[in-house]
A and B are shown apart, each in its own frame.
Chain A
Amino acid sequence: MWGWLLRRLGQIIPTLLILSVLIFALQQLMPGDPAIIMAGEERGDPQVLAEIRAELMLDRPIWEQYGAWLWRLLHGDLGFSWRIRQPVGELILEKLPVTLQLGLMAFVIAVVIGVPAGIVSAAYRDRPADWAANGIALAGISTPNFWLGIMMILLFSVNLGWLPPSGYVPITEDWRQSLATTIMPAFVLGGGIAGVFMRHTRAAMIGALGQDYVRTARAKGLPEKVVITRHALRNALIPVVTLATIELGRLLAGAVLTEQIFSIPGFGKLIVDAVFNRDYPVVQGVVVVTALIFVTLSLIGDLLYMAINPRLRAA
């Protein structure tokens, strides 16, 4: 077990290395000269462009750029944003709490909606309650994020005036305002994942309800409520929790469009703007940090999965 964990931890580094190579390769393939984009309307002077390229090492071969980047990374330096000349590490530390807050709120919303809906759905399988739960949860999955976001802004901000339409207030500054600014995007983000949770819970519950111990419990004459909560649910939740860790990672990714619609200055917005502006140090930094978070989550997911499925430990 410990050996396995060490091996698994050792795998994280090659994963991140593969990823960073992929990103560098991709940025090399991407059209759009960063120097020209940085210059924008001011791209008039070829000498200025040459100076920018020299300063950003864009005139060097890609492997040299990669080497320099890796070397700096080993010293804990992610470089600086070409566009606004702020250290990437600083930008990430500034944005990460925002997306984490959004992600956690969305996660809570998803669990609160998704898990009970899944239980009800499984318990009343093929009955109106199942259809209703299915319908509502699936509505979450089936509605495009950006569409739901715009609709909510129109309803709650423009028509009703209850919530600020966009922007973000840090939780340390004013927690009420902070909740007010993040509740809509968290709902948009969590709504989709809630459907996924509902499906996982439902499937796991249906699986558990078909197991022998549940039949035994039923045969003993235990009330259905007890059978479901005591016996089936406890077993069904384990795979759901496992999958939840992976979903949390996906949730961070899903924040990309949501943050764009609600103008939330988080990770997703940081990276989309960086891709469009060809601000490569930011792209690299954000991708590596996102990947690190994701790989850690998937490791936790694997650990949990092994904990329930001892047969795999040997493999």
Chain B
Amino acid sequence: MNARFLAPLAVVAALAAGAAQAQNLPNLRIGLREDPDIMDPTLARSFVGRIVFASLCDKLFDINDKLEIVPQLATTHRWEDPKTLVITLREGVTFHDGERMDAEAVRYSLTRHLTMQGSFRRGEITDLEAVEVVDPLTVRLRLKQPSAPFLSQLTDRAGMIVSPKAAEAAGRDFGAKPVCAGPFRFVERVAQDRIVLERFANYWNAANIHFNRVTFQPITDSTARLANLQSGALELIEVTSPSDVPGIRRDRRLSLTTVDGLGYWGIIYNVGNGARAQGPLGQDSRIRQAFDLAIDREALIQVVYEGLHTPSSQPIPPASPMHVRDLRVTAPNLDRAKALLREAGIRTPVAVDMMVANSPELRQAAEVMQSMVAEAGFELRIVATEFASALQAAVRGDFQTYLSGWSGRPDPDGNVWTFIHSRGAQNDGKYSNPEVDRLLDQSRAESDPARRTALYAEAFRIALSQDRARSYLWHPKTIVAHTTRLQGFALVPDGLIRLQGVRLR
């Protein structure tokens, strides 16, 4: 009786002071595909970790559904010249430990990303030369050279600002108890079981946060994850198995949210990495082209991924304004493929090994390709390799072809440079063409999107259409399923789960 009478008052009070509201807010349970790695923005590597960070650590900038860079902890930015970036910070932002988020904290965090031993952010902001504190709410970043992708790096982990006091005190163990300036603060983590976050009352955007607690639970088995959602033990899950989608669509208590992702899957041909590049496939681009022509991407996606994903022949997704529209998706053409093999003068069937990470979907995708390329005259042997071993084999060049994926970055440079530039660290096939290198470097320094797109178009014409360094196959969709009681949820192409404005009825 009393409680019911007081409820409207509580709402009024809550509007005045966000803190009092917390008691009445619902909790949210999210099912992740795997246990995130260390929760330190400087040392973190995994994609699922980024999902948790989205609720824990705000960044200087964020991206929106059109992949435009929008303010978060920063309010505005301005290029003084191509090598000097001035950022104005939001006023009145505090970290979870009550410390002020100011220019000094930004300087500290960026320096930490740049200098900490084992930092995985260093490569992302390697162009950063110095950070200057202009006044408590203004920082000036000096770059070594003009860099178009630089700003977009600050929309991800490299742009996360941590509390200098907490980071200094915890040292390398900061990831066990991260202190940031995001909508939720860290409560506890039980490895492989859950990560619990709690509403941060003094969050600068607290009026848009409608949950008291958020619990992230890693459940590796996709069937079990979905079963948890269906039984009401979770409110939202990552869907990793498209075959679950029809069932989710039929279930009236569940809804589905999808978005075209930034990543891709494709085939890396070993063209220059050690002895295994020496076969006809690695040495003759006509054979690789024949292989590419034999793959019916539409059918592959239909069979393996319920037709959900988007077929592709390039690394830049259609969601990006720099997607090269003239580079069409390869239409399967068996006659042309056979003709190319005859032209190359090779005896069929051509034996080809394909390394695949050991997951049921990828193995199925490989099996589908196996039967497709067989019709053109290839004998594809699938080498399903446990993930850890596959990574090592890729680095060492112990593969002929490798079916491999990338989670994608907002700026196209993050999807291209490191994979087909001759100095790219993830250029596992060791493709090398000075002209392509020149075009990619030029695109990094160019700020005009239209001109960058033209540079990518030219680079792809050489590296993909002519040299056939890789065959890109599809851009995966990010799929999230949640109870219909959850409202206002939307995905941005990066596939992260943002809780601002989301409510549970």
Contacts and interface: CB of A to CB of B under 8 A. Distances in A.
Tell me if chains A and B make direct contact, with any CB pair below 8 A: yes
B191 A94 contact: yes
A303 interface: no
A276 B223 CA distance: 20
Interface string B34-71: 01011110010111000000000000000000000000
A273 interface: yes
B391 A43 contact: yes
Contacts of A174: none
Interface in A124-162: 150, 153-154, 157-158, 161
B192 A265 contact: yes
A260 interface: yes
A93 B497 CA distance: 32
5 contacts: A31-B393, A153-B227, A157-B231, A166-B228, A276-B388
B120 A42 contact: yes
A263 B35 CA distance: 11
Contacts of B391: 32-33, 36-37, 40, 43
Contact of B118 (A33, A36, A55, A154): A55
**Chain A contact surface mostly:** helix
B19 interface: no
Contact of A154 (B37, B191, B227, B424): B227
**Interchain residue pairs A-B with the least CB separation, the first 7:** A32-B388, A265-B193, A165-B227, A44-B425, A42-B120, A45-B123, A265-B192
B382 interface: no
A153 B227 CA distance: 8
Contacts of B37: 38, 40, 83-84
Interface in B408-430: 418, 424-426
Nearest to B424: A44
B231 A91 contact: no
A270 interface: yes
Given A32-B388, A32-B391, A42-B120, A83 B38 contact: yes
Nearest to B393: A31
B207 interface: no
A158 B230 contact: yes
Interface in A1-57: 31-33, 36-48, 51-52, 55
Contacts of B39: 84
Nearest to B39: A84
A207 interface: no
Contact of B191 (A33, A44, A84, A157): A84
A41 B47 contact: yes
A41 B47 CA distance: 9
B224 A263 contact: yes
B220 A84 contact: no
Nearest to B35: A273
Contacts, number: 140
Interface in A163-177: 164-168
Interface string A253-264: 000000011110
Contact of B388 (A154, A165, A263, A278): A278
B119 A263 contact: no
B180 to A, nearest CB: 17
B220 A45 contact: no
A41 B118 contact: no
Interface in A233-264: 260-263
A51 B172 CA distance: 14
Contacts of A277: 388
B231 A158 contact: yes
A164 B231 contact: yes
Given A86-B176, A165-B231, A166-B228, A39 B388 contact: no
A47 to B, nearest CB: 8
B120 A164 contact: no
Contact of B190 (A40, A94, A164, A263): A94
A85 interface: yes
Contacts of A91: 191
B193 A168 contact: yes
A33 B220 contact: no
Nearest to A39: B45
Nearest to A52: B118
Contacts of B228: 164-167
A84 B35 CA distance: 10
A202 interface: no
Contacts of A46: 425
A41 B387 contact: no
Nearest to A32: B388
A259 to B, nearest CB: 9
